[in-house]
């Protein structure tokens, strides 16, 4: 089983790269945003539970997110592993993921971190906001998202570095070059 935790700040290209990896490796992309949308739209038990927190203006607890990931990883298409995109976001989620993968008899193979300079990220996100007509994405909100990402996720980079799983990938290359580097990193982790 190959479990890959794809990391990178907003705008680093995680979603694009995860979709390409899904095609190239035959492993499903498991994106927490997609899981939330699926569970909310289909009014699953977990979706209703998440909605109850959201309706009260509260953050959805890690336990609910972990249960959504557990449910998704238990599906047949994940028998060979998965590409985790957007999860974990915190140290407690990383520890929960470790335990969860243990339930499936698996472990994380590698944690590629798509690194892009913050100013490049801001420029990318501003351009994307312009193309998609997202008026709420201005430089101030984007920099706030970057700050939150740094505060919550920087400890994860250290956590996975300490486990010998983190590999830096230059995210300022072309999309295809980043994909080639990711495939190489994943292939090397399988050795």
Distance, in Å, from the CA atom of 6 to the CA atom of 110, rounded to the nearest integer, reads: 8
Tell me if 103 sits within 8 A of 70, measured CB to CB: yes
**Is 14 considered catalytic here?**
yes
**Is 134 considered catalytic here?**
yes
Kindly name the residue from 19, 70, 107, 145 that is annotated as catalytic: 145
Kindly name the residue from 19, 70, 89, 107 that is annotated as catalytic: 89
**Is 147 considered catalytic here?**
no
Peptide bond into 126 cis (omega under 30): no
Of 156, 149, 183, 177, residue with least CA distance to 4 = 183
- C-alpha distances (whole Å) from 129 to each of 19, 23, 135, 174, 180 are 21, 27, 7, 20, 27
Kindly name the residue from 134, 143, 147, 163 that is annotated as catalytic: 134
How many other CB atoms are there within 10 angstroms of residue 80's CB atom? Answer: 14
- C-alpha distances (whole Å) from 176 to each of 7, 107, 113 are 17, 27, 16
Distance, in Å, from the CA atom of 178 to the CA atom of 176, rounded to the nearest integer, reads: 5
Kindly name the residue from 128, 143, 147, 163 that is annotated as catalytic: 128
**Is 89 considered catalytic here?**
yes
Map tokens 């990402």 to a residue.
Answer: 149
Catalytic residues, by residue number, are: 14, 89, 128, 134, 145
């Amino acid at each position: 089983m190959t479990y890959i935790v794809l990391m990178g700040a907003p705008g680093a290209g995680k979603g694009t790269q995860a979709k390409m990896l899904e095609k190239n490796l035959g492993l499903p992309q498991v994106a927490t945003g997609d899981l939330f949308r699926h569970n909310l739209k289909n009014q699953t038990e977990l979706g209703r539970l998440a909605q109850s927190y959201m309706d009260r203006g509260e953050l959805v607890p890690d336990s609910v997110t972990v249960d959504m990931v557990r449910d998704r990883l238990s599906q047949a298409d994940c028998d060979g592993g998965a590409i985790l995109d957007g999860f974990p976001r915190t140290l407690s989620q990383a520890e929960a993921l470790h335990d969860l993968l243990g339930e499936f008899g698996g472990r994380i193979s590698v944690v590629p971190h798509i690194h892009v300079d913050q100013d490049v990220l801001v420029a990318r996100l501003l351009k994307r906001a312009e193309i998609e007509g997202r008026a709420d994405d201005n430089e101030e909100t984007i920099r706030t998202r970057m700050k939150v990402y740094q505060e919550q996720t920087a400890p994860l980079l250290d956590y996975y570095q300490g486990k010998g799983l983190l590999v830096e990938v230059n995210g300022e290359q072309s999309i295809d070059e980043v994909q080639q580097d990711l495939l190489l990193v994943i292939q090397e982790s399988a050795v």
